[in-house]
Structure 1
Amino acid sequence: MLKTKTLAIVIASALGITGCATNDKSTDVYVELRILETSDLHSNIMDYDYYRSQYDPTIGLTRTASLIRQHGAEVPNVVLVDNGDLLQGSPMGDYVANNFKQNKSIGDTHPVYKAMNKLGYSVGNIGNHEFNYGLDFLAESLAGAHFPYINANVLCKTDCWNGKAEGDNLFTPYLIEAKKVIDSNGNEQTINIGYIGFVPPQITIWDKQNLSGKVTVMGIVESAEKFVPQMKAEGADIIVAIPHSGVGTPTNPVNVTDEDATYALSLVDGIDAIAFGHSHSIFPSATFKDLANADIEKGTINGVASVMPGRWGDHLGVIDLTLQMQNGTWVVKDSGAKSAPIFKDGPLVKADSIVRQAVADEHQATLDFVDQPLGKASANMFSFLTLVQDDPSVQIVADAQIAKVKANLTADLKGLPVLSAASPFKAGGRHNTTSDAESYVQVNAGNLTYKNAADLYLYPNSMVAVKITGAELKDWLECSANQFNQISANSSEPQYLINWDTHRTYNFDVIDGVTYKIDVTQPVKFNDDCKLVNKDANRIVGLTYTDGENVISGEQFAMQEFIVATNNYRAFGGKFAGTGEKYVVMELPDSNREALTQYIASETNTNGQVDPRADNNWDFVTINSTTPLDIRFETNNSATADRFIMENQLRKLTKRTDLTDKFDFAIYNIDLTTEPSDK
């Protein structure tokens, strides 16, 4: 099926065919259909930042709802879909999940559905984070939705719901809606709109503790090729794919295990529009200007209208289709897409009062929940410098993970060094929206509450430990070091240090308990998927472990075994060296955030406060160069950040007042040619 559409696109491009012109008399009757999409709301219903206790006009379904009403009122024929990742990701989601854990019930309708039920959704798709709290939580939550759900690639294995047998789709794989529409002549018509949804196959890895033995997952393209012909046979006039999946790549578009498969779906015959998500990016946008066969101005991939509306409600996806009747069949004659923002240089819409009121009680309950006291910290925990030096917001997580794993070591593991892999979850987001410039941990010294712990550890991951060798640990760090662009020691041109394009900050693992430096003048050894690309490259140097009086390095380090505390996503992912199921030696029922809250409370009870100050176990290799280097990085642009950076910088950092980052980040120069201070 893929080859047919690919060939058609090539021929059309060669002949200059646009697909918009026809001499068929049926062009006298057409229908304009608008598809609106929300995605990756992550329980951000309110336009409120619970970590900073203030309203935030850059996020929230309450703001997106105003766009939904605005864009819906512009045309006569509208449908609204959601792409998933609803139930996790904000303190409001944590509040509901905690209530479920304590009472074995979410109680009333989940607040995400209290809000969404006010907006007239046609259908919702299941995202990977829907599985974070288990199938029982998911089933009870979905029961509150006043609209149907679809997913085509998750299959029941055992112990499923609603009498599902092994091999059955766990959810309804697709839906065909008989949509009443008004045509260009003002007459009522019926168009059968088919919706089909997908989730990344990796859910069985990411949520192994919730899904192991219960479900299996088909590939995204594999399941599309199975069900799209069925949908057509059952009378679907058009098919809207709703993959919870990023763009992917044209170079290998049909790998059955692809997490990001939207590009591949655009080549599947029969799919007319794609409302996608998962990677929190915005399509169409300049970010994808080099994507093959993508029309950024029009909003298409391989000629298929496609949209991805960011995250947390910061954008609304808008797809417009022009449908014409030809020989008794509705055909897409023209299409386009855009992502509409709720904020640009200021709020573009007001909050929707109906949606706000729908979750007013849960909003207040969330405020009470996050203000529960935990303990006290001796220093600020801000992540403004987390990508350029060791950082307190990551240090405290590392310390908590080590303490938790040490307390649970079995007899056969005792005696092995315990390390921790932790990464910054809030360090500038993905550097592709203005709201990303505010995505930094900001926890002040002094009394700590649950919202501070949620700010420090964003996700409900569970504690897992792996046993690895020093050689595997080094390669783990080599892949992590892909966070940095290669710096030339002989160029005076501006060079940006942070690799925002291919490496997410949550993949920048700092392994605590060892010391090492990163040589950014070296090429990367692994790419962003941890695939070997330069076998002779070595960015990680000076890697040592100190055991009392003994310093272990070199070949002795390579052969040494270590226990590394991490989370279930990393441990079972198999992406980084030393990860994958065969390396796992400990699975704890506690979430990483629970381990963190327990550590804060314990340290406060024992010592009066917890000390989060970074131990500076990693640094960059100082560059020996006679060329003046202009190395830059981006971070938060605020007086708080300025003050923290001034007081805590280890290397000389200079804010550029002459430059403006397009997403409102501050730009700093970092001096990598002189040794850091001893702070």
Structure 2
Amino acid sequence: MKKYQVMLAALAAAVLAACGGQSPTAEPIAAGTQVQVRIMETTDLHAYMVGYDYFRQQPTASYGLAHTAALIHAARAEQPNNFLVDNGDLIQGSALGDWVAAQGSAYVDQYRHPIMRAFNYLQYDVGNLGNHEFNFGLEFLESTIAGADFPYVSANVFWADSAENAGKQSQGWDNPLVEPYVIVRKELVADDGTLVPVHVGFIGFLPPQIMRWDQQHLEGQVRVRDMVAAAEYYVPKMRAQGADLVVAIPHSGLRLYDTYPEFAEQATYQLAGVSGLDALMFGHQHQLFPGSAAYDDLPEVDNERGFVRGVPAVSPGYWGDYLGIIDFHLEYDGTAWSVINSQVEVRPISEAKDTRLEAMMAAEHEATVAMLNEPLGELETAVTSLFGRIRPGSAVQMINDAQRWFAEGLQATGELPSDLPLLSAAAPFRNGFQSADDYTMIAAGEFTLGSLVDLYVYPNTLQVVELTGAQLIEWLEMSALAYRTIRANEAEAQELFSRYPSFNFDVIDGLSYRFDLSQPPRYSNQGKLINTQSRRVHDVRYQGEPIDLERKFLVAVNNYRAGGGGNFPGLDGRSIVYSTGEEVRQVIAAYARAKTLENNGNLAVAVADNWSLKLPEGATVRFRGNGSELAAEEAQKIPGLREVRRGDDGFVWYELNVQP
């Protein structure tokens, strides 16, 4: 990364890759001297820089770095001895991030990425790479971080010295993509008013799964190591090179395993067991720590005070809705600093915002809004994901229609074999995970590119895989993990949905099938076969006939799934028969333009009633959903569905007691 290396050299005076316990010109530190140190974290900003909802095109105070910046300024005013870090998934996610990426590396080289301009203004000390930093390719990433006035770190991603060695993931520590760690030296004000040098080491980690999720950008060029192995290798070096505090910044969540699997995606709990770490500033799961119910009742996890296996830890949500803070009280014993106390806090944002930062984003923000308002045509009916896991829905149907249309064009030109049946797979991406408003809701009438941002939130590219009928059934068994096992004849309503992400609930268009929820899951979330006799997926048919288990099918799907995202059996990159650089959103836009031209400016979405849920006899299930008028209208069309209560969080609880 030549551009990044040039930038890194310019930072060498401020960031010490190797240093002693104190600078050679400083006065000796008296034994017993104490100092306060504050470390702040943002994570999973996903290019939400200003407080603006690009889905609904209106200001919001619920998220955005402009609001987080107000907390950063206040926290610095309280404690001048501070460091600020970002934990990745920074440049992709919002429409603004997409607009900048569409301008390409040349734009970023000339003007700097606007997010880096904002970070430089806020004086970040360190940035860690997340998995979404690779979505736009290595060249764009290189240009982006070259504009940072601070170093980027990641201890478990490396350049491959050859294509042959790219797959040897567990070998070698040479050729890191960015610095594995840095040690930042600052003169801090001690409790007695004297200035003392303190050296804080920061080490970053990212999910090894980038090799599958962004295979088209990374294959043959980079390799990854396990996060825990990287920590065990580098942390002792950081200590030996004079780090007074060592702070891990894993772009990784918190999960317990019976046996820790090498290259695990969620490794924060295991990193807490690495000797020499003083703090964990994590992310990736879009959860709050301390505080999220997802982290309740985990052994050695204090979800009130913010400690994981005795190590202070923080994860400040997503999109800038919180600022994470860890405060340390250090004491010098004559030879080294030691931690005598620490405190963890997550601070929610408010209406207050940094108008200067907002003004810095104005040009790109306005260009983004203009891009979103490009009209594409008229929708004859609303397109939503409101009940997309209860029955077939219009949002997934529109995605599948566009993907099949594109792949049919490839068959027509001979780029795909025309003698194989063509299917498409897509999921309801926005299904209430973030909030009660986190659903695709595109009203009937004029629709724009902004509508497509609402429909498809990721910059995935389109690929085509070839699988047998038997493999397609196993694919659907993984989709069935969306549901809990439901018991017959229970007096109380049972929870319908598991914690399985909605983006892994693939609907395969072109097949018909039903899910029997009386059966236990066939697979674990990791794609491991756990119940060999269990079958939740039944009556799978193609063109009305039982599917031929040995027949081969083509399936249009996004690169995340085709490359192994979600751990679906049969989908690990080896079944890909066609790859395109076209983003799925671009495919949907092209499809919408073509169909509106064919139909006097109108676009119809005809939902195929191709799958259903089978509930056990006498069972009632419950789930939460959106409470809008549009949701109420759709709910009336689902037999046996009724609203039972409305919560203070904006969600509505429904009960379903007959098969839809």
Deviates more, 1:369-378 or 1:165-174: 165-174
Alpha carbons of structure 1 residues 250 and 516: separation in structure 2 relative to 1, 3 Å = closer
- Counterparts of 1:137-148 in structure 2 under 5 Å? 137-148=140-151
Rounded to whole Å, the distance in 2 between the matches of 1:257 and 1:668 is 39
* Cα separation, partners in 2 of 1:354 and 1:533, compared to 1, 3 Å: same
Residues 1:189 and 2:196 are matched in the alignment: yes
Secondary structure of 1:557's counterpart equals coil
> In 2, Cα distance between the equivalents of 1:171 and 1:323?
30
Measured in 1, the distance between the counterparts of 2:524 and 2:173 equals 38
Aligned equivalent of 2:269: 263
What does residue 597 of structure 1 align with?
Answer: 589
C-alpha contact (below 8 Å) 1:473/1:577 kept by paired residues = no
* 3-state SS in 2 of match to 1:324: strand
Q: 1:520 aligns with which of 517, 538, 541?
A: 517
**Residue in 2 that maps onto 1:613:** 606
d(CA) in 1 for partners of 2:108 and 2:365? 18
What is residue 75 of structure 1 aligned with on the other side? 79
- Tell me if structure 2 keeps the 8 A contact 1:379–1:613: no
> Alpha-carbon deviation of 1:213?
1.2
Q: What TM-score do the two structures reach when normalised by structure 2?
A: 0.90
Q: Which runs of structure 2 are paired with 1:129-278 in the superposition (5 Å)?
A: 129-157=132-160, 167-253=174-260, 255-278=261-284
The partner residue of 1:321 within 316, 319, 328 is: 328
Residue in 2 that maps onto 1:370: 372
Partner of 2:400: 398
Q: How far did 1:308 drift?
A: 1.0
Q: Does 1:645 pair with 2:635?
A: yes
1:585 counterpart residue number: 577
Q: What residue number does 1:567 align with?
A: 558
- Structure 2 Cα separation of the partners of residues 534 and 122 of structure 1: 49
1:374 Cα deviation after fit = 2.1
Aligned pair count reads 618
1:224 and 1:306 map into 2 onto residues whose CA distance is: 16
The unaligned stretches of length 5 or more in structure 2 are 1-29, 164-171
Residue of structure 2 in register with 1:667 after alignment = 653
The one-letter code sitting in structure 1 at the alignment partner of 2:598 is T
SS in 2 for 1:32: strand
Tell me, yes or no, if the aligned pair for 2:373 and 2:449 is still in contact at 8 Å: yes
Q: Secondary structure at the match of 2:548?
A: helix
In 1: Cα distance, 2:257 partner to 2:356 partner: 43
Alignment partner, residue 48 of structure 1? 52
CA deviation map 1:101-143 (0-9, x unaligned): 8x67564221212222221211101111111111111111112
1:578 to partner: Cα distance? 2.3
Query: What is the alpha-carbon root mean square deviation over aligned residues?
Result: 2.0
- One-letter identity of the residue aligned with 1:534: N
Q: CA deviation at 1:166?
A: 10
How far the C-alpha of 1:256 sits from its partner, in A, is: 2.7
What are the residue-to-residue correspondences of 1:213-612 with 2, within 5 Å?
Answer: 213-253=220-260, 255-285=261-291, 286-342=293-349, 348-409=350-411, 410=414, 413-429=417-433, 436-500=435-499, 503-546=500-543, 551-553=544-546, 557-573=548-564, 575-608=567-600, 609-612=602-605
Map Cα deviations across residues 403-452 of structure 1 (whole Å, 9 max, x no partner): 111211347732211111101111112xxxxx522111121222221111
Identify the range of structure 1 (173-182 vs 39-48) with the bigger mean alpha-carbon deviation. 173-182
Shift of 1:565: 1.0
106, 112, 115: which one aligns with 2:115: 112
C-alpha separation in 2, matches of 1:53 and 1:544: 42
Deviations 1:446-486 (A, max 9, x none): 22211111211111111111111111111111111111111
Q: Which runs of 5+ in 1 are unaligned?
A: 1-25, 343-347, 430-434
- Tell me, yes or no, if the aligned pair for 1:157 and 1:167 is still in contact at 8 Å: no
Deviation per CA, 1:307-347: give whole Å up to 9, x if none: 111111111111122222234211122223232222xxxxx
- C-alpha distance in 2 between matches for 1:544 and 1:65: 54
Report the more deviating stretch, 569-578 or 307-316. 569-578
Contact kept in structure 1, 2:48 and 2:65, CA below 8 Å: yes
TM-score, normalised to structure 1, is 0.88
Q: 1:632: which partner in 2?
A: 622
Contact 1:97 1:106 in 2 (8 A): no
8 Å CA contact 2:253–2:267 kept in 1: the answer is: yes
The 1:651–1:107 alpha-carbon spacing in structure 2 relative to 1, beyond 3 Å, is farther
CA contact (8 A) 1:100 1:107 kept: no
How far does residue 669 in structure 1 lie from its aligned partner after superposition? 1.1
